[in-house]
């Protein structure tokens, strides 16, 4: 049978069987999106970011390298998937129609979309979406005309940035699993163990506790490698007295609450250099959580943290982003992309926003200390969902 027959027969038995999105949650999301579309005079929006497709349909898959799109109009939503993704579309998504295309022929995706849109449609498109193929964007502009394609702006980002009670509960579940994985990894640290072995122990614990496939795999580095941003585990063996940096994020129904911890291998206490970096991370978090209040801008929180960091700016490297929004995501990253706590970022905090605060300070060539929590914004500031107490655990 072909993929269309497969879809029909599978739907007869397992339609929506893997969808966990409550109907009222989905209805609220679609209602808000359509209200925003009407305000912007958009007849339709085409979403190609896997996380946004999931947000408005529940669609979930580990294969996010292929073209997939969700077309939403005032009265219907249509999911377009390659033939190999027929199964996840049928079982996980809630939408009015599923249309497929041959996996090996992505150049055929435009015509079915044009048939659904019609010649007079004004289409909202996010040209910065990581899932949008340049070829598709060019063909849509050619057939519809440039004047009928408009940027969606922050329409979707603003909605996703503020989490519902349902979403915060899922993030809390992820936070609990993340903690289990990190603790298991830390407990196996000792001089002579490899970074790979530490990561393996943590990954086993995450999966055994209930994590789904993760948006970003567990990160473990040690010794001078902790001073290098965005390395991951290797066959390097940990030596006594060295820091071990860990960053994990369990996925629960695609929601991820990441956390960073730093431990020290051996029997002795952490050195003064590590303790100074630890203390600075702690002060940064306290400042951020106090400043992350409704009405304050992301820029204001970043500038408050910069004042704490200023005396050490020539000693340590920091990325410049004190927090980023997290929610439901897919590989290769758990970063939601809807908001960043950094200089000149003008959005304003609202209750229900959730951020990971990646406070990692690195002294190039020597050491790095990373300590973080995922926090949720409330009326009086932010509170942690994860349980990092900012101690440097000693194991060995």
Residue 100: CATH number of its domain: 3.40.350.10
In tens, the pLDDT along 271-302 reads 999 999 999 999 999 999 999 999 999 999 99
Mean pLDDT (whole number) for 200-221:
98
67 pLDDT exceeds 80? yes
Same structural domain, 85 and 224: no
Same structural domain, 259 and 385: yes
* Three-state secondary structure string covering the chain: CCHHHHHHHHHHHHCCCCCCCCHHHHHHHHHHHHHHHHHCCCCEEEECCHHHHHHCCCCCCCCCCCCCEEEEECCCEEEEEEHHHHHHHHHHCCCCEEEEECCCCHHHCHHHHHHHHCCCCCEEECCCCCCCCHHHHHHHHHHHCHHHEEECCCHHHHHHHECCHHHHHHHHHHHHHHHHHHHHHHHCCCCCCEHHHHHHHHHHHHHHHCCCCCCCCCEEEEHHHHHCCCCCCCCCECCCCCEEEEEECCEECCEECCEEEEEEECCCCCCHHHHHHHHHHHHHHHHHHHHCCCCCEHHHHHHHHHHHHHHHCCCCECCCCCEEEECECCCCCCEEEEEEECCCCCCECCCCEEEECCEEEEECCCEEEEECCEEEEECCEEEECCCCCCCCEEEC
Same structural domain, 350 and 270: yes
- 101, 127, 156 — which closes off a domain? 156
pLDDT band (50, 70, 90) for residue 75: very high
Same structural domain, 301 and 388: yes
Measured distance CA(322)–CA(264) in Å, rounded: 24
User: In the prediction, which pLDDT does 396 show?
Assistant: 84
User: In the prediction, which pLDDT does 65 show?
Assistant: 95
Same structural domain, 58 and 178: no
64 is in which domain, residue-wise? Answer: 3-156
Same structural domain, 256 and 188: yes
Q: Which residues of 226-264 are buried (b: 16+ CB within 10 A; e: fewer)?
A: bbeeebebeebbbeebbbbbbbbbbbbbbbbbbbbbbbb
pLDDT band (50, 70, 90) for residue 267: confident
Same structural domain, 100 and 212: no
Residue 208: CATH number of its domain: 3.90.230.10
β-sheet bridge partners, residue 363:
367
Mean pLDDT (whole number) for 166-171:
98
Same structural domain, 190 and 216: yes
Same structural domain, 255 and 106: no
Same structural domain, 74 and 108: yes
User: In the prediction, which pLDDT does 119 show?
Assistant: 73
Mean pLDDT (whole number) for 173-194:
98
Mean pLDDT of the chain: 97
- 156, 188, 214 — which closes off a domain? 156
151 pLDDT exceeds 80? yes
How many domains is the chain partitioned into structurally? 2
Same structural domain, 257 and 232: yes
Same structural domain, 143 and 183: no
- 122, 156, 190 — which closes off a domain? 156
User: In the prediction, which pLDDT does 188 show?
Assistant: 97
In tens, the pLDDT along 308-363 reads 999 999 999 999 999 999 999 999 999 999 999 999 999 999 999 999 999 999 99
């Amino acid at each position: 049978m072909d993929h269309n027959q497969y879809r029909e027969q599978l739907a007869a038995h397992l339609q929506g069987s893997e969808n966990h999105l409550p109907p009222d949650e989905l209805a609220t999301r679609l209602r808000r999106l359509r209200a925003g579309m009407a305000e912007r005079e958009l007849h339709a929006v085409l979403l190609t970011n896997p996380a946004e497709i999931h947000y408005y349909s529940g669609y979930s898959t580990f294969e996010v390298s292929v073209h997939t799109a969700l077309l939403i109009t005032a009265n219907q939503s249509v999911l377009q998937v390659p033939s190999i993704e027929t199964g996840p579309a049928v079982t996980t998504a809630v939408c009015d129609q599923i249309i497929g295309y041959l996996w090996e022929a992505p150049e055929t995706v435009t015509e079915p979309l044009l048939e659904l849109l019609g010649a007079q449609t004004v289409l909202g498109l996010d040209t910065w979406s990581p899932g949008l193929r340049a070829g598709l964007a060019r063909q849509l502009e050619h057939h519809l005309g440039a004047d009928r394609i408009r940027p969606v702006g922050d329409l979707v980002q603003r909605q996703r940035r503020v989490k519902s009670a349902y979403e915060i509960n899922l993030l809390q579940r992820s936070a609990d699993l993340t903690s289990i994985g990190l603790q298991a990894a830390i407990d196996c640290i000792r001089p002579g163990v490899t970074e790979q072995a530490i990561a393996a122990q943590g990954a086993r614990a995450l999966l055994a506790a209930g994590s789904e496939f993760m948006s970003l795999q567990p990160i473990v580095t040690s010794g001078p490698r902790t001073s290098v941003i965005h390395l991951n585990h290797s066959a390097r063996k940990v030596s006594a007295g060295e820091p071990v940096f860990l960053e994990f994020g369990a996925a629960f129904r695609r929601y991820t609450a990441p956390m960073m911890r730093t431990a020290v291998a051996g029997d002795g206490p952490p050195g003064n250099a590590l303790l100074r970096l630890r203390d600075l991370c702690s002060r940064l978090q306290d400042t951020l959580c106090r400043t992350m209040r409704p009405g304050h801008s992301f820029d204001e929180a970043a500038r408050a943290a910069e004042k704490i960091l200023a005396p050490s700016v020539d000693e340590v490297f920091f990325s410049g982003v004190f927090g980023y929004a997290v929610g439901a995501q897919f590989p290769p990253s758990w970063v939601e992309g809807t908001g960043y706590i950094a200089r000149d970022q003008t959005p304003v905090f609202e209750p229900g926003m959730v951020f990971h605060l990646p406070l990692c300070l690195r002294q190039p060539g020597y050491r790095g200390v990373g300590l973080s929590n995922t926090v949720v914004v409330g009326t009086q500031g932010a509170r942690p969902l994860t349980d990092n107490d900012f101690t440097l655990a000693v194991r060995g």
